Structure 1
Amino acid sequence: MALLPPPPTQPGVGSKTFKAPPVDGSSSLPQIIDHHLAHSPLHPLFRYTSADARDAPYEQILWKDAARAVHRAARLITSRASATPNSGRNSLVIAFLANSDLPTSWACTWGAIRAGYQAFQISPRNSTDAIVHLLAQTGATHLVLGDEPALRDAANASIQALQSNQAGIIPSVFEMPTFGDLYVEDSGDFVPLPAMDTPELDKTAFILHTSGSTAFPKPIRLTHRMLLETARNFCYGELDPCGEVLGIHFLPFSHAAAPNATSSSLVDGHICAVSPPTGHRTVPTPEQILQEAINTECTIVSNVPSVLEVWAANPDTIKALQKFKAVVRHQHLSFCRVYTRTFKPGFYYFYFFFYFAQVFMGAGLHQEVGDALAASGVNLSVLYGATEFGMIAKAFRKPLPPDEWNYFLISGHQRPYLRPVPGEPGSYELFVRPTESMTPVILDAEVEGELMYATKDIIAEHPTKPGRYRYVRRADNLVVLSTGEKTNPVLVEAIVRQHPMVGAAVVFGSGRPQSGILIEPAEGNQIDPTDLEALASYRNAIWEVIEKANQSASTHARIFKEMIVVANSSKPFALTDKGSIKRGITLDLYNSEIEAAYAAVESSSQTDIESPSVWDAVATTEFVRRAVVSVLGHAVQDSDDIFQHGGDSLQATWIRNTILHALRKSDVPVNGVPHNFVYAAPSISELTQYVLALAQAQASADESEGVSSTREGARTQELDDMVAKYTTDFPRHNPAPNARAPESEVVLLTGSTGALGTAILAALVALSSVSRVYAFNRRAKDGASVEERQLKALREQGLDAGVIGSPKVVFVEGDVASPTLGLSEALFAEIRESVALIINNAWRVDFNVMLPSFAPLIQGVRNLADLALASPHPNPPRLVFTSSISVVRNWKSAEPVPEDSLKDPAVAIGSGYSESKWVSERILQIAADETALRPVIVRVGQLSGAANGSWNQREWLPSVVRSGQVLGVLPQAEGMVSWIPLSIAAAAIIELRNSAQTTHNLVHPRPVSWASLFDAFAASLGVQLVPFPKWFSRLEGSLKSEESEIELTKRNPALALLGYFGSLVSARGRPGEEVFGMPRLEMAKTVGEAESLREENLARLGGEDVERWLNYWRSTGFLQ
């Protein structure tokens, strides 16, 4: 029996992959997920950028995989929840407190609902007190927790508070599943859950919460009926959403916009473009959002107004937007639609929406920004709605006249009541009635004898076009920031008024990125606010109470000292007859002062933080640490991601301003520094490295990976620009008069304590031609000396520990990013005068950070080149750079990668690591063209361990082998492997040091099949070989054990790399080619020059190597 009337249109008519589900109430949304598993298995649900994709710059998650992920999540959550003390309760509420990627959060949420639980998403931005309140209010029985340190601390504090308060249910805690746990390549082993009985439509299924603007956040309980009604919203628009691509890259799943956007896809078939599922959700910049939208070929992009304002301020972006046919704007959350299939190539249709009102994102777009965009030919339109009542505005309208960009039409499934606002003709307070198609979550007002939902929004009708409305303001006092977040000014004002020097206070900030406070000093404390010294003194005097107010407010609502506007006694606050402040009139009275404060804040900073007198590592670290901690309001570790410890876009702006202020004082040019560099280097350590590169290079920082452009090839241009930055003004080599070639080799080796560096050091010491090796390394964070680290590394590889005491070796600690390498003047001069060979082997092995984090190392490449060119010898020292085969990660040709320079940066795009290696290669190749420097670049492939079999057990292959003992099977894969022994790679690098060839590829010249090695592994371990997807399925299935995931991972460390192995399931190698689709490399010239690579010196890998590795792992206890 139909419980809901049908929408006016059915989506997906004619689609070959999407079959519209029943939406009349006979099926709930979790049952519709099962419908798509059976009837729409090949229709995409999610899309995300992937450098590993073959036919497009993105990967897609189809409904068959998404639905199966929901089933896996249901099983996993049920298994973990049933093993806890709260499992016997009648009504189980599964609360999620995690900063996971969106596909993982989506699957976990619907998995909990599919299993019959109530799913509750808690925003990670909440304070501990708010979390305690929400857990108690919802009766949460279980808390699914992410692995971020800040969240774990908040959860522990919340549980302790509940226990001490005796607040009722103490939730059981277990870990959040990962993307790799849930999204598994189909291996034929999947067994769906039994068919689901239709639940009661008015039973609670999902819980969200308010922003906590007026007090603590309040739970919003959504029934199965409400979820289905909301999911049908887009079906009332003018266009069919099926197949459109909705970009929700910036949304966390705890924000109502994300569940609403993704649940609508169940009904109408649109595709959700999301950030890559790399584990933790990161905060994208406006440039990254736009670039991700382009890369994933979005036809719809969601944003808050502040992002659109950033775009509108960029002339290049405006030019890009002008190419689109229309931009449609929601009042608080945007969706941008581009019809790339409907129109001729190159002619697109672009929509923005700003989804608005209570839960959805806050304030609207500035009128002048919208007017400017409309005047420039960008077509704008508006949608308006909220979690409590769905969409009020008609969805997906056709392009509008420029004068209507800020107006919306009422959707046909809504019947709102518009109550005139006294004294404001044409303005109305909006109330939402229940209808057959939409039931508001809350009915909190009785109007003319009828229960309705009071939105507390004021809208105004178009003066000449009846039936069209625009949002005007809130009916209550909430300050709604342009980021969409809200703050309650009343609470903040009440705290601030407690200070004896404060008479009255009004918080402002609606439509702005941050809030401020206008203060009228108490009698006897008035100042002249134009007197800067008096203003600073007053701000300092009341700062204690401002900080107290900040502690009571959400992170986004914090007020900074520079945003305190002090009233002038000549302009007293406007008051009512009762003595209360007329907020609107008072803020209008001080409009110019408020505007001046916002204008100043763009270039202002925490000027009370003293700039370093010398930009060295120690002083810079301390300065950056103070800048970050003072903004965050609490201490963090230097390596912590500040955005996982409470940081937000507002705080990023203040950190940036503080750093730029200090750099300007030191005459460091900062005009090219992008506004998003804090996102690109989001920890104290990374920011320190970034700032050091700016300060010590005396150059702009336009290398930030966060800077994107709307033009095709922006990323490649970024790399080219970085190369250009580090290849200007190479010094000329001027040998000393009567200079003679050195009689022996003096070597500067960087990174000697790493695995490859250790092997190179031992080989150099053994050479009779080498008289000295400067073993150069960074200082250790734990304080261990370089000698201690080197000894440990030598012993691990079974190499001669006597190297430590060799008279040839001089251990040096320094910093390659410094022009003098962080060394004393005397030692630097000694190295410059004596070195005949430089081997630059030190590099950061981290595939998660972006290119700017490698800037100090890239600066080091240039510094070492300059060092070589400053040599007094007749010829500069040879400079050997150990690059990586990752620079060819995007090689598309069927031909092998040549032993030559690769001038197109596109070949390396995809990770900061590979990009940094490519940039460094190009720096040295250009130096070779323009100077007397003769560098040797060696692209090193996968290293297969030392001569004694030592192979770092934290790497991927040892963990695969260990899994054989746990699972009883090992994976079989098609293709060849060209892993090269560590000692051979070290020997070859040294043999190539005097090569006339600039670029070399270094892998095993005689690869062997994966099968030949894994046959030996399997035989020695007594396990079977199964196809790689089958092995991965077993690995994933092992998580269903009753053991904790921590204990499981200790026994089977391959589980820690589940996501990585999952990415290899679809990678297909071919006989005679590299496994997992890796490109083949030319080796002829390298083999010709490196004797150690010749057949008589280097056998193929085989069973003896396998046994050597196995014996080493057994000796360390890694294997049984």
Structure 2
Amino acid sequence: MSSAALTLPAAHAHDKPIYASSTTTTAPEESKDSDVLYTINDLLVHRARTAPDVPLVAYPASESGLTDYVQYTARMLDGFAEGAARAYLRLGLVPGDPFDAGERTVVALLAPSNIDYIATLFALQRLGFSVLLLSNRLSAHAIAALLTSTNCTTIITTPPFAPLLTAVQAAKPALRTFTIIPKHTYAAKQPQPRLTVHRSTPTEAAKVAFIVHSSGSTGLPKPIFQTHAACLFNYSSSFPLRGFITLPLYHNHGISSFMRAVFSRNVIAFFNPNLPLTGANLATAMEHTRPQIFYGVPYALKVLAETPRGVAVLRACRLVLFGGSSCPDELGDRLVAAGVNLVGHYGATETGQLMTSFRPAGDDAWNYVRVPKALEPYLLMDRVAGSDAYEVVVRDGWKAKVCSNADEPPNSFRTRDLFVKHATIEGAWKYLGRIDDRVTLVNGEKVLPIPIEGRVREHPLVRECVVFGIGKSVPGILLIPSEHAVGMSDDEIRDSVWPAVEDANTRAESFSQISKEMVGVVARGVDYPSTDKGTVIRAAFYKQFEPEISAIYAAFENTAEGTLVLDIPGLEAFLLSLFKETGVELESTTSDFFLAGVDSLRAISVWNKLKKTLSFNGNSGKLSQIVVFEQPNVQCLARYLYALRTGSEIDVVDDIEVMQRLVEKYSVFDPHVPGNAVVDGETVILTGTTGSLGAHVLAQILPLENVKRVYCLVRAPSPAEALARVHASLAQRSLQPPPAQLSKVTALPSDFSRADLGLDAATLTQLRNTLTAVVHSAWAVNFNMGVASFETHHIAGAHNFLQLCLSVRTPRPARFFFCSSISAAAGTPLPARIGETQVPELAHAQGMGYARSKLVTERIVGAAAGGVGVHARVLRIGQIVGDSRVGVWSGTEAIPLMIRSAVTLGVLPDLDETPSWMPVDTVAQAILELSGLSCPLPQDTPTTVYHVLNPRVFSWTHDLLPALRAAGLDFDVVRSASGCSGCVTATRTL
């Protein structure tokens, strides 16, 4: 038997809900040649011969019918195909030579998914054509492009599409059009003998059966060619259950679900495409057809779940299978809790079905698809650099894969679909979204819209919800109201939906959260760009609603100035109340905003409310969006706002004075009292292990035989969560120490601002008896924070670590190594050659709180080394890039974002810069050498500062840009008005 052929297995039945996959492929027993399937036509002929009176399709008899379903048997469908084929031949639709070894002639089909469509579909297969299945949503331009790319000159359609076809023919004047054959013609009794116009051979199995197409969400739709062999392999994963389908047949999920029902000899009922997809209509049709399996998109589940009646018809199904897009967690959880056997289906037009969330009874993780054994050799879950997300990649050899788009791995298909791992279930993956779906804000943060949209879309007043904000400082959402919102104003809709938005915010990162001012409502009943699955075409949506989105930002950013006039005490009381409204209750007017939990969303929201409420005497335009971070507390902010309104001199806090105060405050230590504790090897505290540098230091320190124990101090609620975060950080960077090495790790939740570092008494006692070194790399990389905001957790934290080193009961203090930054000296006046010494002036730090906090801590480390004899060292680190082995580099950093513009914008700047970059694993190696952990280092060396940076520099324009082009990036070079700031020429003088 040819490897391209497929043997049809016998159907079987289920009496209980399906919890584990019952998919079938080829039958193991030998079959007669007549049972071998080479083409789609073979499938129908075989069914008509072996089970002629088994119903395969149920379809309403009338144009607007919901309950008048008629069942069509395999014999009837075979007769319909025969009758329609003869009718098309009479009209002049004649196939090519049936014995020609070349490709089949392509005929396009543009019509609603009704019984006429099914008859024509099988008729064209019987005649030996390849069928181009055109979405009913396509524009004339998109149809013309698909006809051109598939060499198609013939289209079958219905009268309602005549105006569209007129526009297509303007671009394709040679296009032949045929009207779809009606039922009264193809259902008429046909003469014998049967029509035979082509032969079924192994050669035919390799020819194209269907041409489906992409949604066109990122441009014109692209054709996807599916051979008979690939289709039959895909359809053989069948469910032997009576079905109900809401999906159109011109969508791959729809045609596959239909053909799987034919394959398994089970009737499938079609929802009437002439009727709106409402919960009431669906429930009525399903109550009449009593399906065992439901095929649909999440929107169909949403409208059914809005009423007890709808939930009841879903619960009555043995299997509810959704696909096409992700189902909101809240919706799925509610259905599963109500007893619905909900299963997700994931696949791609180019690869067929890949994974489902079939699971054992008692496993409620319906939203995690599982990798079947047969797929494992052909599936690669490829981690996306700088994230916990993985892209699904299908390797060469998977039979249902019909095309490739990547050479790594060779001849593979990269789906651009992102998934995350289940925390405990091996091989279980949750859909996160498309790579292209992420909304990148102006600061480089990436908002994942799917979870937010899914939660808000759950609200009965919402038909669709779309997150926007590309290139903006804050994200927003546009609501498409549902039919339940008729008669409501925009404000009423916004107020009603707001609790759902707030709930979505609780699960999103701070930069992804939506403020109420950024919730827009569009006109009821408006059409918007979407795929046949009902998924929004994001780029086209942004283009269509650009005026509405721009108006939301204009209203948010250009709010008319308020009228409230307050003195300084009044402003302080007003601000305390305002922050409380945002969810932050400040203890006093001097409480630091950042440490109190004021994130970027709250800061922007406060700024907006200040502008709308307070009078600034015409100066509101001077109020910076990050004023909350520029003024560290209510006391300072109130004085600033008062000065802005009155025109008085603004009391600017002198950062240099603040830095000097901090240096003096934290340079006082209790001296070390030598003890007689004897240590065996090295016991190390390591911070920052959830970041890139800390993770690489940990991965390199664990194999060292002299290192016996590594304490990783992490901001986490429990030891278990702390350890999980450390392991996740290692895995994210493809760092996988063996279990024997990981057993050296003790991960603990910690609070650096406390003198005891948030550790319990027993742990502190153990550390004081065994600690030999601290490598401190944890630091907030936040360029909005002022230097004062770094005091409590960071600067005081370094002091607390130094004091712990001095409190050990060993003869000498534990060693302390502080990972500083070249930005601590980047403000040195030019020309400058910065040696490995203390920076002489506090003003020589770069002009931002991050750099100034690093320099303050350098001074404190120097005071400890010179004053109380602790072996304390500063490791001043330059620009860290991805590691030298895998190249993982955080995609939110400035340089990766800039380079990515070569892909998104097609341009890169011409910079007059000579950077000095170092791979993160090389930096980690240097830290271990300079700390004496990986090689001996004299304890009494007078050097307290080391520069950890690449002594070699390169030209951005003359070296990097050509290298990027050589690597395959296509971009234009644009002239930059100015180069990057903060470049430092530093030397290493040993």
TM-score class, shorter: 0.3 to 0.5
Give the TM-score of the pair, scaled to structure 1. 0.38
